Amino acid sequence: MVGVELVGPGGEPDPAAAVAVLEGARERGLLVGKGGLYGNVIRLAPPMTLTEDELEEALAVLRETIAEVAS
């Protein structure tokens, strides 16, 4: 499992951003989880059989979604 913590400019946890990333990724076909003490961590749990192409596709979706939420 891999976690991506989302925080605001001052370093404060940003659970609203985590919800937006979760929903944006889902709309793009990437299923991720949300957790953490403050609900601001995106959880990624790829299968052991993940190919490099699948990884690149998932990372592209995640990058695009985070950039959209950040703007």
- Structural domain spans, the chain: 2-70
Residues 6 or more apart whose Cβ sits within 8 Å of residue 70: 17
As beta bridge partners, residue 64 has: none
pLDDT of residue 50: 96
pTM: 0.91
- For domain 2-70, is the CATH number 3.40.50.720? no
Tens-place pLDDT, residues 14-23: 999 999 999 9
33-46 average pLDDT score: 97
Give strand pairing partners of 32.
none
Q: What is the pLDDT of residues 40-71, one digit of tens each?
A: 999 999 999 999 999 999 999 999 999 999 99
**Nearest Cα to Cα of residue 43 among 31, 52, 54, 51:** 31
What pLDDT, on the 0 to 100 scale, is given for residue 3? 96
Residue 56: per-residue pLDDT: 97
